[in-house]
Amino acid sequence: MTEQLNIHSHASVAHISLNRPKAIHALTLDMCQSMSEALLCWLADDAIEAVMIDHAEGRGFCAGGDVALLRNSAMEDGGARGREFFHAEYRLNHLLFTYPKPVVAFMDGVTMGGGVGISQPAKFRIATENTKFAMPEGAIGLFPDVGAGHYLPRLPGQTGKFLALTGARLDGAECLWAGLATHYIESEKLAEVKARIIAEPAAIGRILDEFSSEAPQARIAENKRKIDTLFAPGTLEGIIAALQNDDSAWAAKELAAVQAKCPMTAKVALCQFAENADCRDFAANMAMEYRIASRMIMRPDFAEGVRAVLVDKDNNPQWQPSDPADIDDDMVSAIFEDMPEGEEWTPFPEAASA
């Protein structure tokens, strides 16, 4: 087990606290493997009735994954360590998705990328006034992964496309509105909520309902009509044209957000949404995302995006290609091709197919 996690149990409730505060608890390979090891152990333990996942301290639940490892792997070992990370992370995501015991995820603070992957599979997802939810992968030339190909297309209207292409951040009330959270609870009540769950794990739903507060008005709801209209086209070029043809300040802001992101990321995300319709279950979606991830980290856009956002921090990435029109269907399709024999992603044998 890694020191980057606090893993323990309170009577019949197991508890994982992410403990990497300087990195806002971004997931490392060791963290993914240790979480899975603990979950598999509790899966076989009849004394454990439920699992809670939260963060030990700091301003966020989980800011994502180990981007530095992925970039270094792409530049140093042909992506081998990167693929190892994705394989372990996606196994963890799938294990949580299929977990037969109730899981409660406390999305208190920053919940992005990898943090989305370990919270969205949970039966109970708690948002607070501190929640900042986003899938910002387009800014670094990656793509919305960790199950986003399953979750985002299932959000109301065109909300999923909007989040994938703009990297927009949602607060706790907006997460509740969109269905990304099941409950909205003030952060000052969380310690008591956890104590009550530990005392009465069979009553998790009732306890969460009891402590829930009325969420503020979801700001995104005010723009739902525009989102559903302007993000309805099936192509990136169509969405950009729709935004350009709308003279509202909101459309101008979102157009700038879309055009700042990696064009290949945007096209892959849209294809990912379409391909998900053919995924027979969540495991098939994760296998698809593994193929995408294995190739996206090897493209120049990924190293360039990380450089611009996290290394030099000039926020001026030079995407290749920079014009969506220069990305044809064959280029996108190649990202989705099957992996070589013996290299496909596989779930844990103990995880039920779903």
Domain of 71: which CATH number? 3.90.226.10
Our CA angle for 54, 60, 64, nearest 5°, is 90
Mean pLDDT of 96-107: 98
Residue 65 in domain: yes
Residue 53 in domain: yes
Predicted pLDDT at 1: 57
Residue 353 in domain: no
Token pair for residue 16? 């994982």
Residue 205 in domain: yes
Percent of the chain with pLDDT over 70: 99
Q: Is the pLDDT of residue 276 over 90?
A: no
Calpha distance 208→204 (Å, rounded): 6
For the chain, the domain total comes to 1
Percent of the chain with pLDDT over 90: 95
Q: Is the pLDDT of residue 54 over 80?
A: yes
Calpha distance 122→146 (Å, rounded): 13
Q: What's the sign of the alpha-carbon dihedral 170, 304, 268, 96? A: negative
Q: In which domain, by residue range, is 300 found?
A: 5-335
Q: What is the pLDDT of residues 211-268, one digit of tens each?
A: 999 999 999 999 999 999 999 999 999 999 999 999 999 999 999 999 999 999 999 9
Predicted pLDDT at 275: 87
Amino acid at 255: L
Residue 156 in domain: yes
pLDDT mean across residues, the chain: 96
By DSSP bridging, strand 5-10 and strand 132-134 are unpaired
Predicted pLDDT at 58: 79
Tokens 């297309």 found at: 153
Q: What is the pLDDT of residues 61-82, one digit of tens each?
A: 999 999 999 999 999 999 999 9
Residue 349 in domain: no
Residue 342 in domain: no
Our CA angle for 93, 112, 101, nearest 5°, is 35
> Is the Cβ–Cβ distance between 149 and 285 less than 8 Å?
yes
Residue 21 in domain: yes
Catalytic residue numbers? 65, 114, 137, 145
What does each C-alpha distance from 340 to 14, 294, 329, 345 come to in angstroms? Answer: 38, 12, 21, 11
